[in-house]
Amino acid sequence: MTRLRCAILDDYLNVALTVADWSGVSDRVDVTVFDQPFASQQAAADALKDFEIICAMRERTPFPRALFAALPRLKLFITSGMRNAALDLEAAKDQGIVLCGTQFSRDPTAPLTMGLILELTRNIGRENARMHAGEPLQKFAGIEIEGKTLGVVGLGKLGAKVSGLAQAFGMNVIAWSPNLTPERCKEVGVGYASKEELFATADIITVHVVLSQRSRGLVGAADLARMKPTSYIVNTARGPIIDEDALLQTLQQKKIAGAAIDVFSVEPLPVDHPFRKLDNLVLTPHLGYVTEESFRNHYSQMVDGIDAWFKGEPARRLA
């Protein structure tokens, strides 16, 4: 039997081969791990042209039609998660590539969101850095979130989970999204608000909508301008949902108290990006799903998916 080649992409932490047992397919597949982003689409095409199977980690490497076209040997593509906005799904289908995904057992992004809110309001990381640097005295006075209003943009599964965590901290929660109804808010136990009301009144705003053509730029300059000068905004969804140029200008001019951003239009965030120079912006490198449990779950399902494909029963096919 001819052995096939499988590429595991963007394994920045070098965990793919240790958190999952690949022995179930090692008799049929040779696995190669790529632990760095590709410098360009052409670099990706050159590196991957001889692989029949690709396992992708979320949206770290975009796959437009041109890249799929440059990979004539590709037969199976598995992405972590059941949704990947960086894939041209129609192009893959046109090429006869089987597209599959993996399922989350739970989403660790909600606790990260609360951690970012606490960092913004209590300066935990900043004070930790100062202590390690030998600074003798504290510098920042924290802000209590109990009694403050959290504005949730998007009240799906993740937005509802964040709402519950915030309420456990004693926060009042209001929500808005383009299709949100008062009935859904009542079901979750939060207040319903218009977009204008949410941005004008919330002390902290957190974004939890899915990236689509409709949601690109959903939070724009006019929305940021409505925010109180003492308010904060958090984005653990996807970078393009907030107008990054407008956010940069808002923070540079200190029109709001600060922001915490885990996702960006270009990832990894370029080292010379102006975001990195702001002292009122907490930055994390897309940590939302990056946990040992999450990686173990996704890579194990990728192994199962490859095995199922060999048996003619590909699991968790993408629509």
Q: Which of 60, 208, 286, 298 is catalytic?
A: 286
**CA gap 205, 116 in Å, rounded:** 12
Active site residue 267: yes
Long-range Cβ pairs for the range 85-93 (8 Å, 24+): 85/59, 85/211, 85/212, 85/238, 86/59, 86/60, 86/61, 86/62, 87/56, 87/62, 87/63, 88/63, 88/64, 89/318, 89/319, 90/65, 91/63, 91/64, 91/65, 92/63, 92/68
Q: Which of 208, 238, 244, 298 is catalytic?
A: 238
Burial of residue 72, with CB atoms counted within 10 A of its CB: 0-12 exposed, 13-18 middle, 19 or more buried: exposed
**CA gap 9, 57 in Å, rounded:** 6
Active site residue 58: no
Q: Hunting for tokens 């597949």 — which residue is that?
A: 29
Q: Which of 58, 59, 208, 267 is catalytic?
A: 267
Contact call for residues 152 and 175 (beta carbons, < 8 A): yes
Strand partners, 30: 5
* C-beta atoms surrounding 295 within 10 Å: 20
Active site residue 126: no
Which residues are the active-site residues?
238, 267, 286
